[in-house]
Structure 1
Amino acid sequence: MEEHGNTGFWTCDLITGQCSCSPGLLRVIGLEQARPFRMIDLIDQVHPEDRTYCEDIWSLIRSGVPVNRNFRIIRGDRTVRWIEFRSEVVLDAEQRPARAIGLLQDVSQQHESRQALDESTGRYRALIGTVATMEWRATAAGEPVFSHGWATLTGQRESDMLDGNWLSAVHPDDRDAVSAAWQQAVTSLSPYRSNQRIRRADGEYEWFHARAVPVLHKGGRSHEWLGMIIRHQDFAMLGNGGSATDPTVTPMQIRAGRAMLQWTLEDLSRQSGVSVSSIRRIEGEGERSTRPASLSAIREAFEREGLAFSDGNTVSLQRFPMSGN
């Protein structure tokens, strides 16, 4: 390890206070090779902001307590480095602390990597927080991992979610479509998207848009799923340039689109994530009777198959459908 210049070893006689170290340790802290090593030299190099964290190291060692700490030092060339300090105490025949041995390792690169990861995670969470009601995870097999966000939203406890029982928080009319869409995504490792009504902790149902993507190993196997849940109104505003009220597809266009693709109600439900009962209601009662995000999801399902929509009730097939039934 010393050949890489980031690790060194030291030993101290706790009776006389005399210390010695390896050449690697002197390289780590930036001292001259010919200069004798003293523990006070290391303590003096500790960064001012970390000094209170390190001032008891020598007293702990002398009392026989092992030490393992990370802190910054300022080297002779004025560079700041993060180091990991470890020590163990050797007892004499009378079980009293007699000698301490330890390791000093430059961990600046690891610390910077962790800091970059923390900053990246912070940016990710801040971004998610601006658009999503909550984020969620699931195992590679598709079993959702307990989330405090889900508990806050639905009132479900961790035990309530096991064995697929998280679906009990989904409206009965939407459960089959949600379950089918999720299982299809897990089986095919394809992105998951679904519109569904979720029972909130206050007992009321509200429309949400859920989506997730698989996180894959290099070999293509799923490692886990990462997803988010967005309130339908927020999702509709994101997808419609800030308008959550303008219809995106008419009942006549939906019926025409199904006819052109030879889709049943169940086919459209599976492709859009909107329940069969909702689609039947939209076709019969019109777009004013449903959530704008459901209309957006239906239109997106048609557009993925090559349908194009224009003002009025016009719908046309621009290319061959990509999926069959």
Structure 2
Amino acid sequence: MQPPATPHPAVAPHAFSSRNFLKLIEDTGKVGFWSSDLRSERLTASPGLYRILGIDPATEMTFGFGLDMIHPDDQAAHRDQIAVLRSGQAISREFRIVRPDRTQRWILHHAEAILGPDGVPCQGMGVVFDVTAQHDAMRALLQRHDRLTALIAATASVFWVNKANGEPSEMPQWMALTGQSHAEMQGLGWLDAVHPEDRPRTLAAWTTAIEHTAPYNTDYRVLCADGIYRWFNARGAPVLNRDGSVREWVGVCLNVPGRTRYGAPPPETPAAVPSAAPAADALVTPAQIRAARGMAGLSKEDLAKLAEVSISTVNRLEDSGSAVRPRPDTVLAVRRALEKAGIVFTFEPGVKPGIREA
């Protein structure tokens, strides 16, 4: 008869010590640990910490040795770390170190103090992460962003970002160009700043691009904040997710000098008005514009339409206290519209500028 088999002892859930887990973590090469009696200068460092610091594991580690490795430009802000710990406060710092081989690394240091029975900090422990890769990736990302920003500034008047469904998202430069508010350009509101003759074609081109997830490219006239229509070439493309769906749309509006490919010239800009301009080209005053509009029986909307400027431009022209003055060619455009409506502007020496019927 065989003796009963001796049962194997059950493996305790805690058979794997915390050392096993720490070693597993440290083997990534990106983390290290330390502990110390805060009343001394020596500290015990893990192999991972020696690896991050780039020093021989046989080297005796002290607080002073570690603090001396901080980059000179970061010394002033971060050399107080051990003093802060000895005061009982935890620390969380990100800074550069210079290793013995003169290479630089970015590290993230978390540490805290443990109080003794007398309430005085006596032990310290910390964890150090090598975050150099994250900093390199962020620096490369910022560099690409700066390059794109510089390129846009050199070539485009407007950089725009639209949602996947084509509705405006980020268009601060469009708002600055047209004077539209964020609410005014929502949906198809941005088309209100496009010349009425160009809206159907512009909307058709944009709708086609959205429906077919295709690049967008068209020309149109934009009513700028100064009340002048100018030609722009708008082009954009969809940014796709990995599954082929549209994440967003990005594009630019480029200023188009001269004639467009549709054969229509941009509005003519009157020649610069000399300081001693003759009466026929003199710039009218806000009071003259207000009086002339009243004599002609025109509303602000009527005058804006006749002069091909915005209503806000008419408001600024009639407000003598406005800090924003339209350009001389804009003022002349309004004057010409009022003259066509039967108004004569008078500029007689020694007399305030006035108006009369033609």
Per the normalisation by structure 1, the TM-score is 0.66
1:174 matched residue in structure 2? 198
Judging changes above 3 Å, is the alpha-carbon distance between structure 1 residues 40 and 131 closer, same or farther for their aligned structure 2 residues?
same
* Structure 1 contact 85–102 (Cα < 8 Å) conserved: yes
Q: Find the aligned partners of 2:189 and 2:122 in 1 and give their Cα distance.
A: 60
Query: 1:88: how far off?
Result: 4.0
In the superposition, relative to structure 1, how do residues 98 and 290 fare at CA in structure 2: closer, same or farther (>3 Å)? same
Structure 2 residue aligned with 1:271: none
CA shift, 1:179, in A, is 2.6
Select 1:138's aligned residue among 158, 162, 170: 162
Which residue of the partner structure matches residue 154 of structure 1? 178
Q: Secondary structure at the residue paired with 2:199?
A: helix
Give distance in 1, aligned partners of 2:190 and 2:114: 55
Task: Structure 2: give runs of 5+ residues left out of the alignment.
Answer: 1-24, 268-358
Report the counterpart of residue 324 of structure 2 in structure 1. none
Give % identity. 37
The match for 2:265 among 287, 290, 293 is 290
* Runs (5+) with no aligned partner, structure 1: 234-243, 249-273, 275-286, 293-325
8 Å Cα contact 2:238/2:248 also seen in 1: yes
Which protein, 1 or 2, shows the higher relative CO under an 8 Å CA cutoff with sep ≥ 6? 1
User: In 1, distance between residues paired with 2:116 and 2:202?
Assistant: 68
Deviations 1:286-325 (A, max 9, x none): x4x5249xxxxxxxxxxxxxxxxxxxxxxxxxxxxxxxxx
Q: SS of the residue aligned with 1:8?
A: strand
Match of 2:28 in 1: 4
Counterpart check, 1:22 vs 2:22: no
The letter of the residue matching 1:119 is: Q
Match in the other structure for 1:46? 70
Q: TM-score, normalised by structure 2?
A: 0.60
Question: Residues 205 and 82 (structure 1 numbering): CA distance in 2 closer, same or farther, change over 3 Å?
Answer: same
State the Cα distance separating 1:159 from its structure 2 match.
2.7
CA distance in 1, matches of 2:43, 2:101: 23
Contact 1:70 1:82 in 2 (8 A): yes
CA displacement at 1:65 relative to structure 2: 4.2
Deviation of residue 198 (structure 1)? Answer: 1.7
> Aligned match of 1:193 in 201, 217, 224?
217
Which residue identity is paired with 1:114? M
Residue deviations 1:123-153 (CA, integer Å, cap 9, x gap): 2222222110121111222222233212211
Q: How does 1:1-325 map to 2 (within 5 A)?
A: 1-14=25-38, 16=40, 19-90=43-114, 99-233=123-257, 244=258, 287=263, 289-291=264-266
Give the corresponding residue for 1:279: none
| Per-residue deviation, residues 57-87 of structure 1 (Å, max 9, x unmatched) | 2333334444333322111222222222223
Contact 1:86 1:103 in 2 (8 A): yes
Amino acid at match of 1:290: P
Letter in structure 1 aligned against 2:67: I
CA distance in 2, matches of 1:167, 1:90: 65
Give the whole-Å Cα distance in 2 for the aligned partners of 1:158 and 1:184: 24
Query: How far did residue 99 of structure 1 move?
Result: 4.4
Q: Does the 8 A contact of 1:146 with 1:158 survive in 2? A: no
Aligned residue pairs total 243
Query: CA offsets per residue over residues 5-41 of structure 1, 9 Å max, x none?
Result: 2211223444556533321011100222133432322
Cα drift, residue 230 of structure 1: 0.8
- Matched to 2:265, the amino acid is T
Mean alpha-carbon deviation: is it higher for 21-30 or for 166-175?
A: 166-175
Amino acid at match of 1:58: I
**Stretch moving more, 41-50 or 92-101:** 92-101
2:147 aligned partner, one-letter code: R
Q: Distance in 1 between matches of 2:45 and 2:111?
A: 13
- Rate the CA distance shift 1:95–1:164 in 2: closer, same or farther, 3 A: farther
CA contact (8 A) 2:230 2:266 kept: no
Which residue type is aligned with residue 146 of structure 1? E
- Please identify the structure whose Cα radius of gyration is greater: 2
Separation in 2 of the partners of 1:106 and 1:10? Answer: 14
How far has the Cα of 1:192 moved from its partner? 0.9
Distance 1:231 1:35, change over 3 A: same
Report the Cα offset of residue 176 of structure 1: 3.0
For each residue in 1:210-233, what CA deviation from the matched residue of structure 2 results, as whole angstroms up to 9, or x when unmatched?
111111122212222211111111
